[in-house]
Structure formats: structure tokens, C-alpha cells
Structure 1
Amino acid sequence: MTMTTGSTVDMTSTAVQQDTVQDQVTVEDQVTVVVSGPEVHFSAPLLGLEHLTRFVLEQVEEDSPLFSLRSVEDAGVSLLLLAPEAVFEDYAPSMDAVSRAAVGLPAGDQGLLLTVVNAAGAESLEQATVNLLAPILINPNSGTAAQIVLTGSAYPLRQPLSA
């Protein structure tokens, strides 16, 4: 499968699936991660959405690296998320012990890492940007999540999706 973002990006190394009951999300890229249950609970609220902690994670389309994170508490709030390895092959931020503890991930567990897509003002998805500086880390066993700000990182807050 390829995705056109100004240039063609090969996504065959990353398969993303969601079962028909929409209670498990599996992202495969050398490792399979399953999020149990459709609801994701943030241990600390998302930046700018401090009043919301409960969300539903749904894959946008089958075999797509895009997900919708919809608030359970406010139906008008939804974020578009991206499995970053599908577009940014070299994106591999290191999660410290504090970040892993925020979602209850034991040492050695991968977790599910997603990035927020900002399409505001963009005429197409190719013109959107991705927040690589503050990814969302999800514990696949508990559904606990946290937005992790990568302090001291060179990753950008607004990385063009088409890059």
C-alpha cells in the first residue's frame, strides 16, 4: 500500500488492523501491539484538553495508519492520529522510565506510539503537519495513555506530513 503525500511513501512494512468488534487495534512493525477495549484513558490529560481523559480509538480505514481519537466526554472533540513509522521511518523516540510509568508499561514492553496530526487550515491531508515532539503512548494491555513531551528532543512540533 502506498500513500501519496507529495511523494509516494511505501507503507508495506507497517500493517494496521482493527477487528470488526472495534475493541482491539493491532499495529504490526516487527512487533504486534493490541489495545484491549475500545476506550483509552489518559493518566494525565492531553495538552489543551485538560478537561477530557476518556477517548475511543478507532482506525480510520482498514490498512490505514490513521486513527480517530474521539472523546467520550465531549462528542465535539476528535483528534486525528498517525502511526508515525508508516511515514517517518526514522522516528524512534526513546521513552524514559517516567514516561513508561505514566501508562504502566513495564521495561521491555513496546506500547503503542501515535502522533497527533494537525490538518487545520490544510486543503488536503498532504498539507497537514504531525506533532513528533509530543507523541501519545498507549499501554496496550490497560488502555492507559499519556501524551509524552520529548524534552531536549530535536523532533519538531509541526513536521510536514509530506516530508
Structure 2
Amino acid sequence: MKGEKFHIKSPILGFDNVSEVEFAEVDDGALGFLSLRGQDVELLLINPYKVREYSFEVPVAIQTLLDIHKNSKVKVFCVFVREKESEIRINFLAPIILNDDNKTLAQVVLNAKEYPNFGVAESIKNYIKE
């Protein structure tokens, strides 16, 4: 799967030394993949807006780092982990913000007290209607 190169402006948790990634979107923007340059790692991403009500304030420092303006083409994804065969857990407290205009990204760590409805390892089963 061919992706686009993005420069990391604020580190991804656990990968402080990675400065560039390759990002690819699939399934009409519902899922994404980040291949970390220089690492043998790929992060699985989910578009939180396709799963649940999700809104937060992007800190001014991150807006400045990514050069985000009113009309910027911005995407938001959250890292998810697949446990066992049927369990998927999503980290809603550390979204990854991508500025598609200048191909930069940063991870934002949200304060759990300010966003009490967001968890670090929420089961996707909480949001799927059967």
C-alpha cells in the first residue's frame, strides 16, 4: 500500500526518535496506517469521527507547529490495538493530527480530566451497534 510522507513536528508516544512517517488511508478514510521511517513498525489508526462523537481543542502550540489555519485540510486519527481475535482497543486520549496541506503531523496528549469521556484503551464494542 503506497502512502504519503509526513514530517513529525511533535513526537509520537514511544517513538521520539522518528521524524518521518508514511501515511496511507483506506476504507473511505475510516482506517489508516503509519509506517515509521527507520523502524520496523506500523501503527494502525482509526478515524474517531467514524466511530463516535469526538471533539477536542487542538492546542495552539500544535496548531502553530503544523501551521494549521481556518481552511487547512486536517485529518484526525487515533491509534488502535487489536487484542486477541475479536478485541480492538482505541486510544482516544492521544489523537494524531495530520495537516494534509504541508504534510506534517503531531500527536496530541489530551488531559483526561478535561476529556473524561475519552479513554486510553476503549473497546470498539462500546461503539458498534449490533
> C-alpha offsets along residues 40-64 of structure 1, whole Å, 9 cap, x if unaligned?
11102211111112111112x4436
> C-alpha offsets along residues 118-150 of structure 1, whole Å, 9 cap, x if unaligned?
22xx123x4111110010001110111000011
Q: TM-score, normalised by structure 1?
A: 0.68
Cα RMSD for the two superposed structures? 2.0
Aligned residues of 2:34 and 2:45 also touching (Cα < 8 A)? yes
> C-alpha offsets along residues 8-55 of structure 1, whole Å, 9 cap, x if unaligned?
xxxxxxxxxxxx9x56xxxxxxxxxxxxxx101110221111111211
The structure 1 segments of at least 4 consecutive aligned residues displaced by more than 6 Å after TM superposition are: none
Task: For structure 1, list consecutive stretches of 5 or more residues without a partner in the other structure.
Answer: 1-19, 24-37
2:4 maps to 1:43? no
Aligned residues of 2:72 and 2:101 also touching (Cα < 8 A)? no
Which of these residues, 88, 99, 115, is aligned with residue 139 of structure 1?
99
Residue 127 of structure 1 corresponds to 87
One-letter code aligned to 1:68: F
Q: TM-score, normalised by structure 2?
A: 0.83
Residue 53 of structure 1 corresponds to 19
After superposition, residues 53-132 of structure 1 pair within 5 angstroms as: 53-59=19-25, 61-63=26-28, 65-74=30-39, 76-88=40-52, 90-107=53-70, 109=72, 111-119=74-82, 122-124=83-85, 126-132=86-92
Deviates more, 1:138-147 or 1:98-107: 98-107
> C-alpha offsets along residues 72-104 of structure 1, whole Å, 9 cap, x if unaligned?
222x1110001111111x111122322211211
Name the % identity: 21
Cα displacement (A) at 1:109: 3.5
Q: Supply the distance in 1 between the matched residues of 2:37 and 2:14 (Cα, whole angstroms).
A: 16
Q: Supply the distance in 1 between the matched residues of 2:28 and 2:71 (Cα, whole angstroms).
A: 27
Residue 149 of structure 1 corresponds to 109
Q: Supply the distance in 1 between the matched residues of 2:99 and 2:15 (Cα, whole angstroms).
A: 20
